[in-house]
Structure 1
Amino acid sequence: MSILKTPVERVGELFAEWHGAKADFIIPLPASGSYRQYFRLGTGGHTWIGAWNADVKENRAFVYFSRLLKNKGLNVPDIYYVSDDELCWLEQDLGDVTLLSEYQQLMDKGDLNAVETVYRKTLEDLVLFQVKGREGMDLLQCYPRARFDNRSMLWDLNYFKYYFLKFARIPFDEQDLENDFQIFADYLMQADTGYFLYRDFQSRNIMLTPEGHYYIDYQSARLGAAQYDPSSLLFEAKTHLPDDLRRKLLDHYVEVFTRETRSVRSDFLKFYYPYALIRQLQAMGAYGFRGLHEQKPLFLESIPHALNHIRLILPALPEHLRIPALKSALQALTENENLRAIGKGSDKLTVRVYSFSYRSGIPFDETLHGGGFVFDCRGLPNPGRLETFKSLTGKDQEVVEYLGQFREVNDFIAHARSMVSMHINSYLQRGLTEMMVCFGCTGGRHRSVYCAEKLASELEKSWPQIGVRCIHTSLQ
């Protein structure tokens, strides 16, 4: 197989090689926060998931842990076939229902009892992962670190410093903060770090199937403290569990964990909130990079919830953990009115107009509303086939003039504008605040970019009362 082939082509060929026949369909799945690409393949009434990722070491870790955990009777997807170059693989299709989507539905119904039940089961399973997962674990297979150790912690803390504190323009003394980072990491390393640490144990990585809970995205697993993963789930910004329910679930987890490991509750709780804090700081680094820097709505909306979690965690830290510079910076964050208002949105309608490459898949709707318009530009004249325009994009004047001369291009944009305009009027009447419009072409650099720019410009002129954002996914 040629390395020049697209991920969807690679996955399709791998499936045919394994199954003995081509798939009837291959559908790109929504992108997430990583650079991995997923596809659903189907034939004969059955479906599978195909995955592609350029990071071979990360792929090896995922496949290794999938087989290790499966052999221990834990619910993780079956791995059916891996390409020779380890860039793509086929795995079990676990459907589309996640703990996150189930939580949102149950909360809409006000059914807190059902929420508690599904979370209790999740935390009980976590204890099994933490205890069984470490047995026979080959640390050489872990990536990028074998343990959540001092160096790993400092990576996370500096990620927070550079991508959140600095982006948020919070003043701090660099040396004092670095000193506190070291003190904090040294304190965390006093905990028992001999458990299987999932690393990304959150609701979107937990699949709910008729056969039970299944777990995915553990490729960053390593040895570490047991406190990290339950705090990751219970202090998750996307769910922002009610405080009383979070405390009840923590009590249930600690009861199960101490019984299974014959450990002492007070020993566990001594390190719980410090680990909850470092997990929050790592997450806030991601919110800063993807939200404050890249302006992605889903990450921006998580910031106020993360700040609220920080406010809850700070008073629960042990008094003898002396990190004044870090606490001062965090206090300034929680009191920052601009940050607390981020992601709350307004009553104004915002239309997000995307360009994308079909090779990479339709952009994920980060507002979790399920998507919007998708217009296929591949039937339009393609400037990318002409040597003159290959290095340019749909934003360059030469390409703009080239595409603008074709009647079919102008008609295409006019039809798209007509449909979108009808919905804008409806959305304004209904008080809705988010709309998504996508234009796709083969490479995502010429036709889709041109159409997205044209539509965005026309919408801004026609509806000055709405917000319009134009996002070019293949140009980022």
Structure 2
Amino acid sequence: MSCELLLRETALRFPRYASEGASITKLQKGGSDRSFYRIRIGDGDSLILVEYGESRPENALYAPLAEFLRKLGVRVPRIYGHEPKRGLLWMEDLGDRDLWAYRALPWEERRRLYFAALHEVFLLHANAPPRVEGIVLQPPFTCDLYAWEQSYFFENCLGRFFQGEGQTLRRLAKEPALREIAERLSLFPRRLVHRDFQSQNVLVRDGEVYLIDFQGMRPGLASYDLASLLFDPYVALSADRRAELKEYYASLWKASGRSMPEDLTEAFDSVAMQRLMQALGAYGYLGLVRGKKEFLRYIPVAMRLLAEVLGRIPGLEPLLAYVENLASVR
């Protein structure tokens, strides 16, 4: 739909945007298959309009999930209007500053924002029921999904990006420890997780943080969200800062009087491996198949983080050596 038509649709739903001074600007938004627009009246009110197609059904879940999260006390954008049959969503404009935008500031200034982000996702982990009434969520994390993440990494990162030799990659992909990790992680109790909890999906406005891009929410492990933020290749936090953030997240469970999820202590490195493999697969796919080359620059950082994690997982020494070699030459 053209910008002119989108502006007209907005004016029909929100008459104050029928002003001659109303403007529409298309925004750039990472690897999303959605189109984002800012509609503004002069220098005053503004909102965000999202246009999405039918290729990814989860996009239609954004509005109902936003309302669900708000009821849990999680800060998310307010939804102003939604027409799922037409793939149009109007929501609160929280600005363009995400957690990633603060990456150059001293840690003393960023710490509070990271703590706040962890508090928001903790509210989801701790308070959400196992099912969301009236909403069909994305399929839960299972052994098959963990195995798919591993295959995604081998195919799109090691194969497509690094051009690894096929026989070598097939041998590494069949390491028994990888299947054992997928099977073991699938046995931990699941709770609702964001699924893509990283620095570019946390907006900051007036010192408060808000979660976005939660349409992929599904039953999984709390440690997956935690690892997504702590091992975020977009920012690459130091080991000391990761340890500090992990300790803070654990303190939230302790302060709540609830038992911390077992996967946070018993399987965190394995979950971090899974998340990094998923991210690396996505970078390779988005960069080389979808033509979004900007994602390729994060592969070297993510490979170094993956090597660090693999070094703490027994049984994956051959894969560790392979990843370390690639990480050292890129």
Report whether the alignment pairs 1:191 with 2:184.
no
Look up the match of 1:62: 62
C-alpha contact (below 8 Å) 1:11/1:89 kept by paired residues: no
Q: Provide the alpha-carbon RMSD of the alignment.
A: 2.4
Pick aligned residue for 1:37 from 28, 35, 38: 35
Q: Tell me, in whole angstroms, the C-alpha distance in 1 between the residues paired with 2:28 and 2:290.
A: 18
C-alpha contact (below 8 Å) 1:134/1:223 kept by paired residues: no
The superposition leaves residues 221-261 of structure 1 with CA deviations (integer Å, 9 ceiling, x where unpaired) of 01111110010001011101122111111111122234436
Pick aligned residue for 1:221 from 214, 217, 225: 217
Q: How far did residue 296 of structure 1 move?
A: 4.5
The superposition leaves residues 204-236 of structure 1 with CA deviations (integer Å, 9 ceiling, x where unpaired) of 111111161111000000111111001000101
* AA of the residue aligned to 2:321: Q
Q: Which has the higher contact order (CA 8 A, sep 6+)?
A: 2
Pairwise mapping of residues 120-199 of structure 1 onto structure 2 (< 5 A)? Answer: 120-134=115-129, 137-138=132-133, 140-143=135-138, 145=139, 147-167=140-160, 168-171=162-165, 172=168, 174=170, 177-178=173-174, 180=176, 181-193=178-190, 195-199=191-195
Look up the match of 2:284: 288
Look up the match of 2:108: 113
Pick aligned residue for 2:8 from 9, 13, 29: 13
Q: How far did residue 91 of structure 1 move?
A: 0.3
Q: Tell me, in whole angstroms, the C-alpha distance in 2 between the residues paired with 1:264 and 1:28.
A: 42
Q: Give the TM-score normalised by structure 1.
A: 0.63
Q: Give the TM-score normalised by structure 2.
A: 0.88
The superposition leaves residues 406-433 of structure 1 with CA deviations (integer Å, 9 ceiling, x where unpaired) of xxxxxxxxxxxxxxxxxxxxxxxxxxxx
List alignment gaps of at least 5 residues for structure 1. Answer: 343-476
SS in 2 for 1:75: coil
C-alpha contact (below 8 Å) 1:200/1:220 kept by paired residues: yes
Q: How far did residue 132 of structure 1 move?
A: 2.3
Q: How far did residue 142 of structure 1 move?
A: 1.2
Q: Tell me, in whole angstroms, the C-alpha distance in 2 between the residues paired with 1:179 and 1:150.
A: 15
The superposition leaves residues 123-171 of structure 1 with CA deviations (integer Å, 9 ceiling, x where unpaired) of 122211212233652385213x2x1122222221211121112122334
Q: Tell me, in whole angstroms, the C-alpha distance in 2 between the residues paired with 1:259 and 1:136.
A: 25
Larger radius of gyration: 1
SS in 2 for 1:335: helix
* AA of the residue aligned to 1:165: L
SS in 2 for 1:58: helix
C-alpha contact (below 8 Å) 2:223/2:263 kept by paired residues: no
Change (3 A) 1:295 1:46: closer
Look up the match of 1:468: none
Q: Tell me, in whole angstroms, the C-alpha distance in 1 between the residues paired with 2:277 and 2:199.
A: 18
Pairwise mapping of residues 223-302 of structure 1 onto structure 2 (< 5 A)? Answer: 223-260=219-256, 262-264=258-260, 268-291=264-287, 296-302=292-298
SS in 2 for 1:32: coil
Q: Tell me, in whole angstroms, the C-alpha distance in 2 between the residues paired with 1:48 and 1:177.
A: 46
* AA of the residue aligned to 2:80: Y
Change (3 A) 1:64 1:294: closer
SS in 2 for 1:213: strand
Look up the match of 1:405: none
Further displaced range: 59-68 or 129-138: 129-138
C-alpha contact (below 8 Å) 1:170/1:329 kept by paired residues: no
Q: Tell me, in whole angstroms, the C-alpha distance in 1 between the residues paired with 2:223 and 2:41.
A: 43
C-alpha contact (below 8 Å) 1:26/1:41 kept by paired residues: yes
C-alpha contact (below 8 Å) 1:191/1:271 kept by paired residues: no
Q: How far did residue 267 of structure 1 move?
A: 5.7
SS in 2 for 1:63: helix
Change (3 A) 1:14 1:170: same
Q: Tell me, in whole angstroms, the C-alpha distance in 1 between the residues paired with 2:90 and 2:307.
A: 43
Look up the match of 1:85: 85
Report whether the alignment pairs 1:331 with 2:327.
no
C-alpha contact (below 8 Å) 2:197/2:225 kept by paired residues: yes
Pick aligned residue for 1:314 from 307, 310, 321: 310
Pairwise mapping of residues 379-398 of structure 1 onto structure 2 (< 5 A)? Answer: none
Q: Tell me, in whole angstroms, the C-alpha distance in 2 between the residues paired with 1:37 and 1:131.
A: 32
C-alpha contact (below 8 Å) 1:287/1:300 kept by paired residues: yes
Q: Tell me, in whole angstroms, the C-alpha distance in 1 between the residues paired with 2:196 and 2:263.
A: 23
List alignment gaps of at least 5 residues for structure 2. Answer: none
Change (3 A) 1:286 1:266: closer
* AA of the residue aligned to 1:164: C
Q: Tell me, in whole angstroms, the C-alpha distance in 2 between the residues paired with 1:184 and 1:84.
A: 38
Look up the match of 1:305: 301
* AA of the residue aligned to 2:200: R
* AA of the residue aligned to 1:73: G
Change (3 A) 1:65 1:295: closer
Change (3 A) 1:14 1:150: farther
Q: How far did residue 73 of structure 1 move?
A: 2.1
* AA of the residue aligned to 2:305: H
SS in 2 for 1:40: strand
C-alpha contact (below 8 Å) 1:334/1:340 kept by paired residues: yes
